[in-house]
Amino acid sequence: MAPCHVASGVLLLLLVDASPGPLRRMVGATAGIKTASEPRMADEVATKRVAIIGGSFGGWKVAKSLSGLNERRTPDGDRVKLDVTLIDRADYFEYTPGVLRALVQPSVIPMLHSDIGAGTDARVVRGDVVGIKDDKILYKGLNGSPSDNPSELEFDFCVIATGSEYSHPIKAKGDGHEWTREEREKVLLEKAWQLGNASDVAIVGGGIVGVELAADIIYKYPDKNVKVLDMQNSLLPELPPQCGKYAQKWLEKKGVSIELGAPADLNTLREQDYQIFMCVGNKPNGHVYKTDEEESETPPPAVPAKRPPPRGALNVDRMVCLRRLFFFFLRG
């Protein structure tokens, strides 16, 4: 991918709190960049286009934090105006942690969603991002033909906040069938109904999501036959060992069967009419960033990294930029 060329004038830097946990603050700071042949105009306003890919937690937080910063002065006295655009294929924001509760308490489903970009000053574009080339985001409209050429959204700075994929129905499918709030809520209601009518429930994955779902189900439906299966030798392997031991003891006390150390036989579970929930398979959505030469899911060779990123992930520097590409910021 060729580098973007930022016009001389006022350079916008997006300062990101890179500590673990939610992004606490993202503001526009500026530094004047002028050449000898380019005199400063006292009333000149430089417009910088900020494109945010992804309208979930990370993207919404960035858009919200930039709202109200539409015009400000740099330390050199220059004036900067932000033009913020948020692009996402869905028309809704979903509070994903609430989906597990919604499966056992469907009355909360409408509370999980709001309009995409709600509460921000960002202009919202709905589209399926297929790549980034130079200083343009390439996306396809949701009502067009697959053969249509992608539309372009130009930017000076790009924030990639595309999040991750996860097993359905905990996250929506990426095939276009749940990109509206109405469609997504219909699917969640159907899954909640199926769970309520199932006698036997199998949860594949004993991590944080699987354990929480098992606890919610057995608390709401104490008479169901619930089992948790995982190839690991303990629950919650990403946490200290005592956490997994406590969770297993609590679940078994409630009647949940725990099967560890062997792969789940999905065919047998289906034959036995289990309602199956897959709580595995988290994968970063870094595919929107590709080189021009190949369909790569990693930064190009000109952007060296100390170690290869996991599949779908992207390496960043201390400022959470794509390495050596200071006009790309990652959030997630």
**SS in 3 state form for 230-243?**
ECCCCCCCCCCHHH
Distance of CA 216 to the CA centre of its chain: 24
Helix, strand, or coil (residue 281): coil
> Does residue 19 carry a pLDDT above 70?
no
pLDDT (mean) for 63-92:
83
- Mean pLDDT lowest among 232-236, 304-308, 316-320: 304-308
33-38: list long-range contacts, CB under 8 Å, 24+ apart: 33/8, 33/9, 34/8, 34/9, 35/8, 38/8, 38/9
**Residues 187, 178: contact at Cβ < 8 Å?**
yes
pLDDT of residue 107: 98
pLDDT of residue 43: 65
Pick among 1.25.40, 1.20.950, 2.60.40, 3.50.50: CATH of 9-89+127-166+283-330: 3.50.50
162 band by pLDDT with thresholds 50, 70 and 90 = confident
Percent of the chain with pLDDT over 70: 70
- In the CATH scheme, what is the code of domain 198-278? 3.50.50.60
- Mean pLDDT lowest among 19-33, 82-96, 195-209, 232-246: 19-33
Mean pLDDT of the chain: 78
Task: Find tokens 């992004």 and name the residue.
Answer: 23
> Does residue 59 carry a pLDDT above 50?
yes
Helix (H) or strand (E) holding 62: helix 57-66
> Does residue 29 carry a pLDDT above 80?
no
Nearest one of 185, 228, 223 to 99, comparing CA atoms: 185
* Global model pTM greater than 0.85: no
pLDDT (mean) for 159-179:
86
Looking at the chain, the domain(s) classified CATH 3.50.50.60 span 198-278
Structure tokens that stand for 205 in this block: 């994955």
pLDDT of residue 315: 54
